Every structure is written in C-alpha cells, then in structure tokens.
C-alpha cells in the first residue's frame, strides 16, 4: 500500500466495573474479567470502539508506556455517590498491548474520596501512581477532613509492592511525580489549604521511605502546583498558578535544585482571572508550559496557551490556541510532551463546547496540525509518547444518559517520507508500480501498512542475476525474483540477513524484485548484480593452400618463352640442347655404323 504522511486514530473507551478487598487505607486488588461490547465504524482518520456501560463512573487521569510498548492507563471511579460518605470508590489500573488489546485491569478499593493524578513507569517496568485521598479526623466533638498525598508502587503484573500514604493533619495533595537519575521518586504537591505552597517529597524506589522533603512558600502569595519535570542534573521545574491572596492567579513557573531548594521563578501576569499552567516538559535547556489564559482571550473568555522559557527562566515566546475561534469557548491545554524531533504535542478540552483537541507546534511556536473530535463530553486529560513517537491520550467520556468512562486514544506515529530506490516516494506494492532501477545498491523503507516494495531492472538471456538484502535490527524482510512474465523464479525467506538469491535469466526483458515485510519496520539495503553471459568469438577459417611461386624473367626475344618452358630440373635450355644434340649425334653414328657393316657383308 502506498503511504503518505497522515494521522491515523484509534479510540478505545473502557468502562470498568470494579470491586476489591481491604488493604490498609488503600485496599486490595481484584482482576476484572469483563466482556467488552464493541461497535466499530470507520471514518478516516477516526476509528472508534465503545465499552459496555455500567451504573458506575470511571475517570481517566494517567497514561504511560513500558519498555515493550505496552500502554498503562490509570484513573479512579465510584459506584455510589448518592450518599455521604461516598462508597465503592476505586483506583483503576489497566494494561493494553501495543495494538490496544486489553491484557488485564485491576482495582484497589479505598475508604474515602480520592484523586489519582499521575503515573510513571521505571526501566524495570514497575508502575508508580501518585494522588491524594480525603482524610477524615475528629477534633474534640467536631469532625473535620483534609487531603493526604500517596504514592503507590506496582510490578508489571499489577501487584502492589508498597503504599505510602501520608496521614497528617494538613492539606497535602500530590499532583505529579518524576524519577531522578537514580529512579528514586520525587513527588510534587501543593499544601497548606487556602494559602497554598509548593512541597517536594523524595521517596526511595526500593521501599518507599521518605528520603527528604522540602517546601516553598512566597510571602503573601497563594501558590498552586500542577506539574513538574526534572533535568539530567536532577534540577526540578514546576508550573501552576500564583497570585495575591484572594486575587487573580497568574501562570507560575519555578526552578529548584536537586534537593528542593528554590532557585528562581517567573510569573506570566495578566489583567484577568484563570491564568494557570497545567503542564510542563523539558527539551534540552528549553522549558515548555501549557495551560489556560483568560488574559489572552479576545472575547473575555479563555484560551489555551503554550509558553517557552530558556534555562534561566527568560520568556522566549508564548502562543495561544483557540480551536473554535468563537465567543464563549473555554479551552484548556491540560498536558504536553516533546517528540524526538523536538516538536510539542498538546492535548486538552473546551469546557464550553465540551469537545477535545490534540495539536502540534514546532519549536518556534508555529502551529502544525490539530485533531478535534465530534464526540460530546469527551475531555482529554493527559498524554504520553513512546520511543517511536506513537501518541496515547487519556481522558473521560460522558455519553448522553450514561456515567463517565475512561477513554484511551492512540495516534500512530506519522509515517516519514520515503525515498525507495531514489524515487522520492514509496516503491509500488505490485508490478505496475515497480520502481525502475539500475543494477547496483539501493535503499528503501518498509513501515506498518507498507508490506511490499517492487523494483524493476533489465537483464538479457543467459545473464547471471544476484540479489542481496539486509535490513534494520528487529526486522525480517524477504526477497523474491520474478521474470518478465511476472512469474516467481526464486525466493529467499530466511530469518537472518543477508537474504541472498542467484538465478540465470532464461529470457530477456524487465525482471522484478519483490521486498516483503514479514515482521518489523525499518530501512533496508538491496543490492542487484547483473553479469552478462561471456561471448566466444570464432575467427574466419585459415587458407592452408600455398600459392605458386612466379619468377618473372625480362624477355629478350621470341624464344624466351620456349627457353622458359625447357627449363627443367634446374638446367637451362642451352645445356638441354647440347645433351639432346649429343644424343642425336650418337644415334646417327650408330645407325651409320650398322648400315656400313651390312654393306660389307653383302
């Protein structure tokens, strides 16, 4: 199939109906075996699947990808909120394979209202969740409540390894967690109730023990924290909001050292309410913030905002995102991530129009593309990118007349431009689309959905054809040679490289090589060698006849011809004349003698 760079979207809505067993304040797990009722329809680039509805509600709040490309989704839910205190409240953890097939889902029942805020996965594929739990306590005759932070660790099968819930009589709400260079966990929260402050808690990855905690509070300022990031030096960056007590909040960004000591902060001020930073990520020394700004909205409502700082906290640029361009929109950028190419992906939702968006910007803040859905009451809350730039977005959907469900969306990474055989495009998937090449070494690419590349070259009868193929690690590509009638001649389908085949052309014409993607995706190198048959040249036959030797004697008179004719056995005509004359004379003498004797006798 010929591919172009495009966005392909798969959506899975998961409705979880969960129960559990007691485990401290956060209770034990139960694996849910549930048949999911699927209804599919395709409208490029959107593909949707819906989960079965239940009389419960689930909120999606976190997503992460492990080393094998499996996707983990977390959230929380409830079965009964009609009475107080709330009951049937759960933490949800769901695992999907890279094709979004559900592998398992588990629940952990809790004793009180809860919020799951973030999830990360370490190099051993252990899973960490962070959030907060309502904590009720008694002071004298009065009952009161606050919020306590927690961090949970699970192995890759979803088994809980440890639970650290801070039972303190102070408002403390975990918002985000990251790993330091040792893969110990740093949790960031805001605490202090109405006069909020920033607090960091570092936990041991081994047993969850608190290694240190540090807090920061600005005088006469109310600070709320929403996200954090960490660089290679273990320096900590946070974003949220800050403003005077009871006053309008502004986007707040701050930097702390590796032990949580304050270094600097920057506040992006504006004349209106609701300027908040919800998400932060780092790219080299650059800092990106995503959030919401009422101060930038031309209609007095709110618009999404993307902000870039350098490593010293100097503002480089900020851009707004207003997908609807209409009065009354309330757009929030809730999360962001940096691709391997350095572009920024954001997700969020419009509170007024009740739909969601995903958008991409380059490093200068220029808008590249966006996706908006046509599903009412679907809120995108968080996102994650894997090593191949596949994008996963999690949120919550509220179908009309039903309770909330967790929503997972998968955006496969855009297929990069191809240049198969130097064609500037993808080689065809069949004979008519074959790229014409000159024998030699060429390169190409096979990606997901692109399973065949065809090449054509010319060979004459008797020519020796040799083809060799190597591919990227993790790929299994095969080759087949076809003659000018498009009939297969020979194939190489081993599981190792190089794939090699050799054949002799039985006819002249256009021959073909098919490169087939058995598994994996990546680049390949194809070498075609043609050796024409050797032609033996036969020289003309040699004439073995010796021509006669001709001796030319200048003529002196008419007798020269006779003399020439009488030349025999190397004797000239004079000698032959003497010999013949002498012979005749002898004969005459003999005759005379004989006659004389006869006369005497008479």
Predicted confidence (pLDDT) at residue 69 exceeds the cutoff of 50? yes
- Distance, in Å, from the CA atom of 212 to the CA atom of 201, rounded to the nearest integer, reads 6
Q: What is the CATH number of domain 422-531?
A: 2.60.120.380
| Beta-strand pair 127-139/355-361 | unpaired
- Strands of the 476-482 sheet, one edge to the other: 435-436, 452-459, 509-519, 476-482, 488-492
pLDDT at 198: 85
Q: What is the largest CA-CA distance in the chain?
A: 207
pLDDT at 575: 73
pLDDT at 197: 80
- Distance, in Å, from the CA atom of 144 to the CA atom of 167, rounded to the nearest integer, reads 14
**Cis omega before residue 47 (within 30°)?**
no
How many C-beta neighbours within 10 Å does residue 52 have?
14
pLDDT tens string 349-368: 876 666 788 999 999 999 99
Closest by CA position to 275, among listed 307, 299, 323? 307
- Distance, in Å, from the CA atom of 592 to the CA atom of 598, rounded to the nearest integer, reads 10
Parts of the chain belonging to CATH 2.60.120.380: 422-531
| Beta-strand pair 9-14/46-49 | parallel
Among 187-196, 500-509, 522-531, 543-552, name the one with the lowest average pLDDT.
543-552
- Distance, in Å, from the CA atom of 90 to the CA atom of 110, rounded to the nearest integer, reads 6
Predicted confidence (pLDDT) at residue 150 exceeds the cutoff of 50? yes
Strand partners, 26: 110
pLDDT at 202: 95
Closest by CA position to 76, among listed 183, 152, 189? 152
Q: Under 8 Å CB-to-CB from 298, ≥6 apart: which residues? A: none
Closest by CA position to 240, among listed 260, 222, 214? 222
∠ CA 157-123-345 to the nearest 5 degrees?
A: 100
Q: Under 8 Å CB-to-CB from 276, ≥6 apart: which residues? A: 224, 226, 240, 241, 249, 251, 291, 292
pLDDT tens string 78-124: 775 555 455 678 888 999 988 888 899 888 887 777 788 999 999 99
Specify the residue for token string 């000018």: 484
């Amino acid at each position: 199939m010929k591919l172009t760079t495009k966005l392909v979207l798969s959506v899975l809505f998961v409705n979880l109906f969960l129960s559990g067993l007691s485990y401290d304040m956060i209770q034990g797990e139960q694996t849910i075996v549930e048949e999911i009722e699927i209804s599919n329809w395709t409208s490029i680039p959107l593909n949707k699947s819906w989960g079965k509805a239940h009389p419960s509600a689930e909120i999606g709040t976190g997503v992460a990808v492990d080393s094998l490309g499996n996707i983990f989704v977390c959230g929380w839910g409830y079965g009964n909120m009609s009475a107080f205190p709330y009951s049937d409240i759960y933490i949800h953890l769901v695992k999907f394979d890279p094709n979004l097939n559900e592998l398992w889902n588990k629940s952990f029942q809790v004793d009180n209202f809860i919020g799951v805020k973030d999830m990360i996965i370490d190099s051993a594929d252990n899973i960490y969740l962070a959030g907060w739990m309502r904590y009720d306590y008694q002071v004298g005759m009065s009952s009161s409540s606050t919020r306590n932070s927690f961090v949970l660790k699970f192995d890759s099968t979803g088994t809980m390894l440890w639970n650290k819930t801070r039972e303190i009589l102070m408002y403390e709400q975990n918002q985000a967690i990251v790993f330091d260079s040792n893969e110990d966990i740093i949790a960031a929260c805001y605490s202090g109730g109405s006069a909020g402050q920033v607090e960091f808690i570092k936990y041991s990855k081994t047993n969850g023990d608190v290694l240190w905690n540090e807090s920061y509070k600005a005088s006469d300022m109310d600070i709320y924290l929403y996200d954090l990031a960490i660089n290679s030096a273990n320096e900590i960056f946070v974003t949220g909001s800050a403003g005077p007590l009871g006053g309008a909040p502004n986007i707040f960004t701050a930097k702390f050292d590796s032990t949580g000591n304050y270094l600097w902060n920057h506040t992006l001020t504006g004349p209106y309410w609701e300027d908040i930073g919800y998400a932060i990520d780092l790219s080299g020394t650059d800092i990106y913030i995503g959030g919401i700004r009422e101060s930038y909205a031309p209609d007095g409502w709110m618009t999404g905002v993307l902000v870039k700082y350098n490593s010293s906290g100097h503002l480089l640029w900020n851009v707004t995102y207003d997908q609807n361009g209409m009065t009354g929109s309330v757009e929030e950028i809730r999360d962001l991530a940096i691709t391997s190419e350095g572009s920024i992906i954001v997700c969020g939702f419009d509170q007024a129009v009740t739909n969601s968006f995903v958008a991409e910007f380059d490093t200068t803040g220029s808008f590249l593309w966006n996706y908006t859905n046509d599903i009412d009451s679907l809120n995108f809350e968080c996102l994650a990118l894997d090593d191949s730039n596949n994008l996963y977005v999690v949120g919550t959907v509220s179908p009309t007349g039903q309770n909330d469900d967790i929503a997972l969306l998968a955006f496969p990474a855009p297929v990069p431009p191809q240049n198969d055989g130097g064609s500037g495009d993808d080689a065809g998937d069949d004979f008519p689309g074959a790229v014409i090449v000159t024998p030699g070494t060429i390169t190409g690419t096979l990606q997901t959905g692109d399973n065949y590349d065809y090449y054509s070259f010319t060979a004459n009868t008797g020519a020796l054809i040799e083809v060799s193929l190597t591919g990227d690690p993790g790929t299994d590509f095969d080759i087949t040679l076809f003659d000018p009638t498009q009939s297969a001649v020979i194939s190489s389908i081993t599981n190792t490289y190089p794939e090699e085949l050799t054949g002799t052309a039985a006819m002249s014409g256009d021959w073909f090589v098919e490169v087939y993607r058995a598994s994996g995706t990546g680049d390949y190198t194809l070498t075609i060698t043609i050796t024409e048959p050797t032609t033996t040249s036969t020289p003309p036959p040699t004439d073995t006849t010796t021509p006669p030797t001709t001796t030319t004697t200048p003529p002196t008179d008419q007798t020269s011809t006779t003399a020439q004719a009488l030349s025999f056995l190397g004797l000239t005509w004079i000698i032959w004349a003497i010999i013949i004359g002498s012979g005749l004379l002898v004969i005459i003498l003999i005759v005379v003698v004989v006659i004389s004797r006869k006369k005497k006798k008479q």
